[in-house]
Amino acid sequence: MWCHCRMVYLPMSYLYGKRFVGPITSTVLSLRKELFTVPYHEVDWNEARNLCAKEDLYYPHPLVQDILWASLHKIVEPVLTRWPGANLREKALRTTLEHIHYEDENTRYICIGPVNKVLNMLCCWVEDPNSEAFKLHLPRIHDYLWVAEDGMKMQGYNGSQLWDTSFAVQAVLATNFVEEYGPVLKKAHSYVKNSQVSEDCPGDLSYWYRHISKGAWPFSTADHGWPISDCTAEGLKAALLLSKVPKEIVGEPVDTKRLYDAVNVIISLQNADGGFATYELTRSYPWLELINPAETFGDIVIDYPYVECTSAAIQALIAFRKLYPGHRKKEVDECIEKAVKFIESIQESDGSWYGSWAVCFTYGTWFGVKGLEAVGKTLKNSPTVAKACEFLLSKQLPSGGWGESYLSCQDKVYSNLEGNRSHVVNTAWALLSLIGAGQAEVDQKPLHRAARYLISAQMESGDFPQQEIMGVFNRNCMITYAAYRNIFPIWALGEYRSKVLLQQGE
């Protein structure tokens, strides 16, 4: 199973198998009264198992699930609550708790995400309210909490620090203002170096269902530690770019051995079809999605290959190959070649790529074009890239920008924002795609219009406006990346200045 899926169902299984019920306090009674529309003792749990608010129903249960869950509840469950089935359950619970502790210890009690974090913490409390494990969980609650205008919130991760930092580095370097922003780049370089994962998790990784992680970069912090393919690629790209800047400005470069470790992780994550999934190899089959019980999410049961992850891997390996052409040359070349074929094979019929892991069509198409651009495929010599450019140009709005709705993620059909408004982040992705594809050699007008929109959108403070949400998780869980509104317009305008204006002498 995909790591997020299995790490959530792990503690849920433990708590269900233990039949744990906490003390019935006045707070619990008050919550029961608040949460349920009928008195708690009148709830029909057989019926409740299959109920979901229509507003939340994205993935309706197929019939096979209703049959499966009913069979488990009515036939299997009675067996596992009596001897000898109870002995089997007890053994399973011990094994489950082992895996919970392994996850806690290897993420410094942050856990892979907020849902399994609080459930794992509860499991530790159920095991022993005075345990060291439970005490170590408590201070790491703060990694997820923040206060918004309307009260306390819990993040969908413990942050996006490495992800944002890697993109910010590439954005600043694209402007060629290295000396002007040297102190910023130096601090970012320090974070990139400090957040790289230095060791694999201990023990037999196959027993714990874990992939190698030494040399990888996480999405957030080194403490969190879970390796991710595109985060490793973006971290490697940032490290390689910074290694070309004088160390007097940005500090000492990342040690070569650590770069080799990152390349090793990237190569190890390539699937047989050439694509890259997120945290691990794709280990199972899409038909398992039939047992996805989460009505609000799609594509959660296994780890699928994505255009974004695959493109990032191509870009990182090509950047690495330019600086270290002799290191594992055959493997690096073969990895790139297979990944390029995968990207070309999954292009949509209209020329786009569906960015199903992180955002939507403008984002997915940016990554698709970037991956092909890295191997020298442009609008002039690649039908695939030419088709992608046609798609993007067909979506450009009268304002010169692009504006894609979150509905694209849910419906897998490109949808404009309401009122056909432009969005600075979508516009930046589209502009970066077109510049990289070589649109400037064919017709610069769409590029000038997009750049004018971005320039006009900037506020007096230098900030860009926070507009509609620009992130998604599993098709239907939207995420705010607050830094995107500045990173990508800066990056796009930097590329526009250096690769369009300066090249034509403006």
The encoded tokens of residue 98 equal 């082992």
DSSP 3-state helix, strand, coil percentages of the chain (rounded to 5)? 55, 5, 40
Query: Any idea which residue has 């469950």 for tokens?
Result: 77
Handedness of CA 429, 433, 435, 436 (dihedral sign): positive
> Rounded to an integer, what is the distance from CA 62 to the centroid of its chain?
27
What amino acid occupies position 130? N
Cα first-last separation, the chain: 54
Contacts of 103 (CB under 8 A, 6+ apart): 7, 10, 111, 112, 116, 120
Q: Rounded to an integer, what distance in angstroms lies between the CA atom of residue 406 and that of residue 410?
A: 7
Distances from the Cα of 116 to the Cαs of 71, 99, 101, in angstroms? 26, 12, 12
Residue 204: active-site member: no
Query: What are the E-state strand segments in 85-164?
Result: 145-148, 151-154
| Candidate list 164, 230, 261, 299, residue with the active-site label | 230
Backbone angles phi, psi at 276, to 5 degrees: -120, 130
Contacts of 233 (CB under 8 A, 6+ apart): 266, 309, 312, 313, 315, 316, 317
Handedness of CA 63, 67, 73, 79 (dihedral sign): negative
Q: Is the CB of residue 205 less than 8 Å from the CB of residue 193?
A: no
Per DSSP, helices labelled H in 128-181 are 132-137, 161-174
Which residues form the catalytic set? 230
